[in-house]
Amino acid sequence: MLDIITNMLSMCIPFSVALLLASLGEMFNQRAGVFNLGCEGVMAMGAFVGMLIPFLAGQGGAVAPVYNVLGFVSAALLGVLFGLFFGVITVTFRAPQGIAGIGLQMFGVGTAGTLFRHFVGGTQSIPGISDIDIPLLSKIPFIGDVFFSHNIVAYLAYILVPVAWYILFKTYWGLKVRAVGTNPRAADSMGINVTRTRYEALALGGALAGLAGAYLSIAQAKMFSDTLISGRGFIAVALVYFGHWHPVQIMGGALLFTFAQTFQTVVQSMGISFPYELAVMLPYVLVIVVLSFTSRNQTTAPTALGKPFNREIRT
Amino acid sequence: MKKLLVLSLVLILPFMAFAQGSGESAAADDGTIRIALIIENTIDDKGWCQSMHDGITQAIAEMPDKKIEYSYAEKMLPVDAGSIARQYVAQGYDLIIAHGAQYKNLVLEMAEEYPNVSFAFGTSSEIGPANVFTYMPESEETGYINGIIAGTDTTADIVGLVGPVDSGDAARYNRGFVLGVQSVNPDAKILVAHTGSFSDYVKSSEVATSQLGNGADILTGSSQQAIGALRATAESPTAMWVGQDLAQLTTEEGKAKCIAASAYNYAAVVKELVEKIENGTLGGECIPMNFANGGFVFDYNPDLKAEWVSPELEAKINETIESFKADPDGTLADWASVDYSTL
C-alpha cells in the first residue's frame, strides 16, 4: 500500500506543472484586471512550437539539450506575442474579454493544429527531457521519490511560486499590477500607466501559458497532437479562482487537482467496483465543489476584473 | 444597410444551395463509385481514423478493375459533420462512411433524407435502415492475442491496460485482453483504467505512468490516445507494450517497445461494402470484423520478436488465431463475462 501511495504522490509534482505554470500566468492577467479564456490556445501554440524545434533538429531522434531549451524559449516568446495580441483586442480596443478569449482559444488551437500538419505531419514524438535524480536526496525513502526525482522544469516551475509571490506582493511592478486590477482609475490618477501595465501582465501571462504548453509537449507527453491540451487551459483559469488569485493557493489547487487525477487512476487500476465515468469526473467535481464553498470569499478578487479601462469615461 | 444585406445574401445563397444539396444523389453514371470518409481526428493519427483511411486506400489498390473516387473530411465533430455529409451527397458520392458511433444520429437522419445514398458507420452491431451499413470489430479476438503475449512475457505478473472508454470495440478489446492474459497466466494482476477520452494523449500517458509505477511491466491500450501511453512506456527501461494498431510498430518508441500489434483491416470491410453497393444492396446489414473474414491483421516487431516471442508463445498465438478463424461466431472469447472489479 505504501508503494501505491508513494507512486501516487510522486506523480503529483510533475503532472501538475503545466496547470501550475498556466494558472500562475493567468493569475497575473487577472490581477491586472484581464481574464484570458484563450489560455488553452496559447498553450496549444506553445506546445506546438516547443515540440517543433527539437523535432526538426533531430527528426524525432535524440537532440542536444539546447534544442529543448530553445523549444521552451520559443514557446514563451510566442506566448508573449499572443498575450500582447490579446492586449490589443481587450485593452486597446476594449473588446469583451470573454468573447475575445474564446476567439483566441479557437485561433490558437486551430493554428497550432494546422501548422503541425504542415511542418510535422502526423502524430510524432520526441525524446524530450528526462527526470533527474538529485544526488543523495532522491535516495531518501518515500521523500526521494515524491520530491527529488523529477525533471528540471518541474523544479523551476515550483521555484516560480515564491518568485511570483515576491513579484506580486513585494515589488513596485506587482503593486502596479494589483492596482490596475483593483481600481484602475485610482491607479491612473496616481500616474500608473494602466494600459502599459495590463500589456506587461498579459505578456507575462502569455509567456507562462506558452511554457505550460511546451512542458506538456517536451517534458510530459513528449509529443504533439491537436488535442494535447484537452481543456487544461480552462482548468488553469478555474484554478486561479480556486486559489483566490494567490500563487501559493494556486499551487495548492494545482496539486489537489492533480492528486485527484492520479487518485482516480489508482482507484480504477485497483479494480475497485466504482463506475470509471464517475472516477474520471472526480477532479472536475472537486474543483466545482471547492469553488462553490469558497465563492463567498471574494475579498481577494480583483474588483476591476473583466472591466476595460477608458480614462476618458468616468464610471 | 440595405446594400449590405443584399450583398450578404448574394454571397451566402449559393453556398446555402450547395450545402443543402438537391435531395437527390447525382451519382456518376460511368460506373465510378465515390466513397467519402468523415472522421473526428486525422488520417495520420496512428490509430482509429488512420486505420479506416488506410483500409480504404488499400481496398482501392486491391480493386484495380473498379473506378473508385475517394475523398475524406478530417476533424469533423458530430455537430459539424452534417454540413460536409450533405456536400458529399450533393457531389454524388455513393457511399459515405462516418467513422465512429458518435455519428449514428447524423447517419440515421441523413439516410432518411437521402434514401438513394448508402451510409455506413461503426462501431455498431445494430442493423440499420435499408441504406445504412454498420460494422463491428469483434476486437476481443485481437485483445485476446495481445493478452496471451502480455500474460506470457510479464515477469512481474502485473500488466496494465489503458482504456479510452468502456464501450464499443474498446470494451471488447480490453475484456478480450483480460481473457487472454488469464488464459496463460491466471495469477497475473491486471490494472485497468480508462481515461474517458479517445484523444487525450496526456491523460493516457499519466495513466500508463501510474500503472508503471505500480509495477506493470507489459502494457496495452487502444484508440489514438494509446500513443501517449506507449510514449510513457518507452520511458521505462524494462516495460514493454503490445499494440492495437500496426502503425504503432512504425513509431520510434514502437520500434523499441512494441512486441507485436494487431489492427483492424478495414480494406476487407470496404471491399465488401463496394460489392454490396454494386449489387444493389445499400445497407440494412452489419458487417462483422474478425480473423475469420480477414477483418484483423496481426504482426510482430521484427526487432523484438526473437527476444520476446518464444517458439512456444508463437505456436500458442498461431493456434489461437486459427481457432478464431474456425469460429467466426466468436464464442471462444466471452468478453461480456469479464468483470473488472474481480481482477
B236 touching A, CB under 8 A?
A: no
Q: What is the mean pLDDT of residues A183-191?
A: 94
- 3-class SS shares of chain B: helix, strand, coil, % to 5: 45, 20, 35
Stronger pLDDT, B185 or B223, i.e. the higher one: B185
What does the block give as the cell for B189? 494482476
What does the block give as the cell for A202? 498579459
B233 touching A, CB under 8 A?
A: no
Least confident of A265-269, A310-314, B53-57, B310-314: A310-314
A196, part of any domain: yes
List CB contacts (< 8 A) between A276 and chain B: 166, 193-194, 196
Across-strand partners of A124? A224
Q: Nearest by CB to A228, from B201, B211, B341: name it.
A: B201
Res B207: pLDDT: 94
Q: How far apart are CA B150 and CA B273, in angstroms?
A: 35
A181, part of any domain: yes
Task: Quick: pLDDT tens for B159-184.
Answer: 999 999 888 889 999 999 999 999 99
Amino acid (one-letter) located at B93: Y
Q: How many CB atoms sit inside 10 A of residue A83's CB? A: 29
What does the block give as the cell for A147? 520530491
Q: Nearest by CB to A220, from B196, B199, B205: name it.
A: B205
Q: What is the mean pLDDT of residues B21-45?
A: 72
Is the pLDDT confidence value at B9 over 60?
no
Decide if A268 and B193 are in contact by the 8 Å CB cutoff: yes
Q: How confident is the model at residue B239 (pLDDT cuts 50, 70, 90)?
A: very high
Q: How confident is the model at residue A295 (pLDDT cuts 50, 70, 90)?
A: low
User: Taking all residues of chain A, what is their mean pLDDT, rounded to a whole number?
Assistant: 91
Decide if B231 and A123 are in contact by the 8 Å CB cutoff: no
| Interface test with chain A among B42, B194, B201, B342, by most A beta carbons within 10 Å | B201
Tell the residue number behind the cell numbers 483500409, with chain if given. B55
Strand, helix or coil for residue A84: helix
| Interface test with chain B among A10, A48, A111, A123, by most B beta carbons within 10 Å | A123
Range B14-137+266-289 classified under CATH 3.40.50.2300: yes
Least confident of A298-302, B70-74, B336-340: A298-302
A125 touching B, CB under 8 A?
A: yes
Is the pLDDT confidence value at B29 over 80?
no
Q: What is the mean pLDDT of residues B216-220?
A: 96
CA distances from A119 to A60, A124, A151 (A): 13, 11, 27
Range B140-263+297-342 classified under CATH 3.30.70.270: no
B138, B289 Cβ separation under 8 angstroms: yes
Q: How confident is the model at residue B152 (pLDDT cuts 50, 70, 90)?
A: very high
Fold match, B14-137+266-289 / B140-263+297-342 = yes
A67, part of any domain: yes
Residues 250 through 269 of chain A touching chain B, CB cutoff 8 Å = 261-262, 265-266, 268-269
Q: How many domains does chain A have?
A: 1
A262, part of any domain: no
Q: Where are the domains of chain B?
A: 14-137+266-289, 140-263+297-342
Phi, psi of A98, deg, nearest 5: -65, -50
Tell the residue number behind the cell numbers 446555402, with chain if given. B16
Residues 143 through 172 of chain B touching chain A, CB cutoff 8 Å = 160, 166
Q: Which domain holds residue A68?
A: 2-123+133-233
Q: How far apart are CA B190 and CA B54, in angstroms?
A: 32
Task: Quick: pLDDT tens for A199-217.
Answer: 999 999 999 999 999 999 9
Q: How confident is the model at residue B5 (pLDDT cuts 50, 70, 90)?
A: low
Q: How many CB atoms sit inside 10 A of residue A85's CB? A: 18
A102, part of any domain: yes
Is the pLDDT confidence value at A61 over 90?
no
Q: How confident is the model at residue B322 (pLDDT cuts 50, 70, 90)?
A: very high
**A&B contacts, CB < 8 Å:** 108
B106, B258 Cβ separation under 8 angstroms: no
A201, part of any domain: yes
Task: Quick: pLDDT tens for B127-149.
Answer: 889 999 999 889 999 999 999 99
B193 touching A, CB under 8 A?
A: yes
List CB contacts (< 8 A) between A216 and chain B: 202
Strand, helix or coil for residue B115: coil
